[in-house]
Amino acid sequence: MIDKMLDSKVAGWVDDRTHLIRYIRFHLIDYPTPKNLNYWYAFGSIALLILVLQIVTGVFLAMDYKPSAILSGGGFSVAFDSVERIMRDVNDGWLIRYMHAVGASAFFFVIYLHMARGMYYGSYKKPREFLWMMGVFILIFMQAIVFFGYLLPWGQMSFWGATVITNIIGAIPFVGDWLLQLVRGGFSVGDPTLNRFFALHFLFPVLLGIVVLWHVMALHVVHSNNPVGVEASEKNIIPFHPYYTVKDLFGIGVFLIIFCWFVFYHPTGFGLMIETDNFNPANSMRTPADISPVWYLTPWYEILRSVPNKLLGIAGMALAYVCLFLLPWLDRSPVRSARYRPVYRSLLLIFFVSIVVLGYCGHHPVTPMLTVVGRTASVIYFSFFVLLPFIHKFEKTKPLPEDI
Amino acid sequence: MKDKTRRDFLYTAASGAGAVGTLAAVEPFMRALQPAADTLAASTTEFNVSTVAPGELKTVAWRGQPVFVLHRTPEMLKDLHGHDDLLRDPMSHAVPEVQAEWMKTDEQRVTRSIKPEYLVLSAVCTHLGCIPGFEPTPGQEAWGNIVPPDWPGGFHCACHGSNYDLSGRVFNHVPAPHNLHVVPYKYIHDTTILIG
Ligand code: FES
């Protein structure tokens, strides 16, 4: 059917003038893939689907949302009221908003798994270094986008989360104060902040979409790695369509079942995806007893919190991202997949655990006990990157197969 | 040859002018992001401190940000002494924001207020801007282990666990770098202050 459509006269006419059909064939149909990709490779397609969902639901929400912190007749703010209006009065507004909120969490969940897969199978190594760095950039970009978005409901967590995070910018030496006012548009987070964050929350996802397209196009230059990590020979290469279109669609189906379960039964994600305190309108005179960011930001937040010094804490958090960027150069082993690298494999699994532990600590209020745990996990996080350049010297890798 | 250097020169000059022009065009956008005139318009807040009962803490809004007004009892004032070793900057010297012109004597640097009993300080944690909680009684009994065992009474910021004493002086080994900032204020009447 698809072949027939792409071979039709109309398609040919368009292709002669735009190369559109050629692009479709190149990226979605003929794209040569190793035949041994497992379901871990479906997360890229799933993430793409979520991006589209976020943009569609976001545009619809923007039609009813009002970015104003001015007090409304009811004593709350215009923004807070407009979100409640979406929830109660706009037809199916609740559904669209919950899809958007759960979608944000789903996006991060899927991206983290996508990255974990890349680390496990060594997909960041030559020639895919740039692809990996684009990915880390996309992660940071996504975190900026959710940070803008989380302010919009103008609840307690919105307000105090934005206050704390913008203050991080203010701590940058020399230009901090200037930059802080530039971001906030005032002495503190307020109406001007909300307005500009809304504008940026609308713009940035569009830019993200462009970067993501570039990420996919770059992948199609260097081609997919595979679980074995060696180049596949000609006979083990299959076209993307129908083999992986179908496999990815199955993955998407499973994902959507879980996604819908959350949207319909646990839209706040047990207080993790929309924090309970955010159902209280923002109050600049009172910080909630326990403020912590949404779950997908907590590991980075915990690194910040582990260092008992403002500037060093921020530097630590920045370094955590820098390490990810440098991963392709820190790891010097010629073998890609962790399947054949026992030492790397153990270290990597410990590294994954440290991130989960960091996330757990970052989500809970500080206690002496959790501080120790959080600091230990931070040390493990960085130790992974410190050890990485040396392990190839003593690691006895398992023999690699000739072909996949 | 001569033609070539002439071209190189023109090329450099033109792209240089283009770059300068582009940079200049960025400037108005940067300015537009800075706080607008109405946001900046200085504002002041009047407050009658006699409405705060001894031992009580009130939070006043000034420029959209909270200011603590604490009525300290004589015991609280006495308790300000004797824990200097716990503090990072007991005499408030570190940065201009933690000091004021009227802080002349050592005693004023300890009490950090014009009238010792009425402490007026910015309520914004110098770490990342949360508002600390008020935990005045000494020891851990009332607050549990979120405060250190030798807690002299003060403010605890739950966000990342910073501690300040009852003069807003920051403890050692916490994320907050400085004492709570002093806000500009003066007494315009025996019990009325003007903040700002
Ligand atoms: S904001 Fe108070 S400790 Fe971080």
Give the end-to-end CA distance of chain B in Å, rounded to a whole number.
68
Whether residue A336 contacts residue A344, with contact meaning beta carbons closer than 8 Å, is answered with no
> Residue B128 CA: which ligand 1 atom is closest?
1
Determine the residue of B88, B122, B128 to mutate for testing ligand 1's pocket, defined as the one with the most ligand atoms within 8 A of the Cβ atom.
B128
Per-residue pLDDT at B79: 87
- Cα-to-centroid distance, A2 and ligand 1 (Å): 58
Whether residue A216 contacts residue A171, with contact meaning beta carbons closer than 8 Å, is answered with no
pLDDT bin (cut points 50, 70, 90) of residue B2 is: low
Q: Does pLDDT of A120 surpass 80?
A: yes
Mean pLDDT, residues B70-75: 93
Whether residue B154 contacts residue B101, with contact meaning beta carbons closer than 8 Å, is answered with no
Name every protein residue with a CB atom under 6 angstroms from any ligand 1 atom. Answer: B 125, 127-130, 157, 159-160, 162, 175-176
Structure tokens at A31: 């794209």
| CA–CA gap between residue A293 and residue A289 (Å, rounded) | 13
Distance (Å) of CA A140 to CA A136, A209, B141? 6, 14, 43
Determine the residue of B121, B146, B162, B163 to mutate for testing ligand 1's pocket, defined as the one with the most ligand atoms within 8 A of the Cβ atom.
B162
Nearest chain B CA: its distance from A292 CA (Å): 8
Per-residue pLDDT at A177: 86
Taking alpha carbons only, the member of B44, B175, B13, B160 closest to residue A370 is B160
Nearest chain A CA: its distance from B50 CA (Å): 21
Q: Which helix (H) or strand (E) is A33 found in, with range?
A: strand A32-34
Q: Does pLDDT of A1 surpass 80?
A: no
Mean pLDDT, residues A12-41: 94
Q: Give ∠ CA A90-A94-A95 in degrees, rounded to 5.
A: 115
Contact at CB, B65 and A367, closer than 8 angstroms: no
Per-residue pLDDT at A187: 84
Mean pLDDT, residues A378-395: 95
Among B128, B130, B161, whose Cβ lies nearest the Cβ of A168?
A: B128
Per-residue pLDDT at A293: 87
Neighbouring residues of A226: CB distance < 8 A, sequence distance ≥ 6: A34, A36, A37, A121, A232, A404
Residues of A within 8 A of B174 (CB-CB) are 308
pLDDT bin (cut points 50, 70, 90) of residue A18 is: very high
Per-residue pLDDT at A290: 79
Nearest chain A CA: its distance from B165 CA (Å): 18
Per-residue pLDDT at A14: 95
> Residue B160 CA: which ligand 1 atom is closest?
3
Strand partners, B164: B155, B170
Taking alpha carbons only, the member of B56, B159, B127 closest to residue A288 is B159
Residues of A within 8 A of B146 (CB-CB) are 365-367
Contact at CB, B145 and A284, closer than 8 angstroms: no
The position carrying tokens 């030798």 is B150
Mean pLDDT, residues A149-163: 94
| CA–CA gap between residue A73 and residue B156 (Å, rounded) | 35
Per-residue pLDDT at A168: 86
Contact at CB, A310 and B177, closer than 8 angstroms: yes
Mean pLDDT of chain B: 89
- Cα-to-centroid distance, B175 and ligand 1 (Å): 7
The position carrying tokens 């040390």 is A379
- Cα-to-centroid distance, B174 and ligand 1 (Å): 9
Q: How many Cβ pairs closer than 8 A exist between chain A and B? A: 94
Its ipTM equals 0.83
pLDDT bin (cut points 50, 70, 90) of residue A260 is: very high
Q: Whose CA is nearest to atom 1 of ligand 1?
A: B128
| CA–CA gap between residue A195 and residue A281 (Å, rounded) | 17
Torsion of CA A173, A174, A179, A181, to 10 degrees: 110
Contact at CB, A313 and B177, closer than 8 angstroms: no
Nearest CA in chain A to B61: A285
Taking alpha carbons only, the member of A319, A289, A286, A313 closest to residue A301 is A313
What chain A holds in terms of domains, given with CATH numbers, is: 39-206+242-291 (1.20.810.10), 301-404 (no CATH)
- Cα-to-centroid distance, B101 and ligand 1 (Å): 27
Q: What sign for the dihedral angle of Cα B185, A69, A189, B170?
A: positive
- Cα-to-centroid distance, A12 and ligand 1 (Å): 63
Taking alpha carbons only, the member of A120, A131, A42 closest to residue A337 is A120
Entry pTM: 0.89
Neighbouring residues of B75: CB distance < 8 A, sequence distance ≥ 6: none
Percent of chain A clearing pLDDT 70 (strictly above): 100
Per-residue pLDDT at A170: 86
Contact at CB, A187 and B65, closer than 8 angstroms: yes
Q: Which helix (H) or strand (E) is A44 found in, with range?
A: helix A43-62
Among B36, B128, B174, whose Cβ lies nearest the Cβ of A164?
A: B128
The more confident residue out of A171 and A384 is: A384
Q: Does pLDDT of B116 surpass 70?
A: yes
Mean pLDDT of chain A: 93
Taking alpha carbons only, the member of B56, B69, B72, B54 closest to residue B166 is B72
Q: Please tell me the number of Cα atoms within 13 Å of A7 on its side-chain side.
A: 4
Per-residue pLDDT at B1: 55
Strand partners, B45: B195
Q: E strands, chain B, where?
A: 45-48, 57-62, 65-71, 118-122, 133-135, 154-157, 162-165, 185-189, 192-195
Mean pLDDT, residues A28-44: 95
Mean pLDDT, residues A295-321: 89
Q: Does pLDDT of A313 surpass 90?
A: no
pLDDT bin (cut points 50, 70, 90) of residue A61 is: very high
Whether residue B126 contacts residue B170, with contact meaning beta carbons closer than 8 Å, is answered with yes
C-alpha B89, offset from chain centre: 14
Q: Whose CA is nearest to atom 3 of ligand 1?
A: B160
| CA–CA gap between residue A23 and residue A369 (Å, rounded) | 56
Peptide bond before residue A127 is cis, with ω within 30 degrees of 0 = yes
- Cα-to-centroid distance, A216 and ligand 1 (Å): 40
The position carrying tokens 């507004």 is A93
pLDDT tens column, A225-257: 999 999 999 999 999 999 999 999 999 999 999
Ranges of each domain in chain B:
2-34, 41-195
Contact at CB, A164 and B129, closer than 8 angstroms: yes
| CA–CA gap between residue A324 and residue A394 (Å, rounded) | 23
CATH class of B41-195: mainly beta
In this structure, of A206-215, A241-250, A354-363, B98-107, the range with the lowest mean pLDDT score is B98-107
Nearest chain B CA: its distance from A371 CA (Å): 10
Q: Does pLDDT of A311 surpass 80?
A: yes
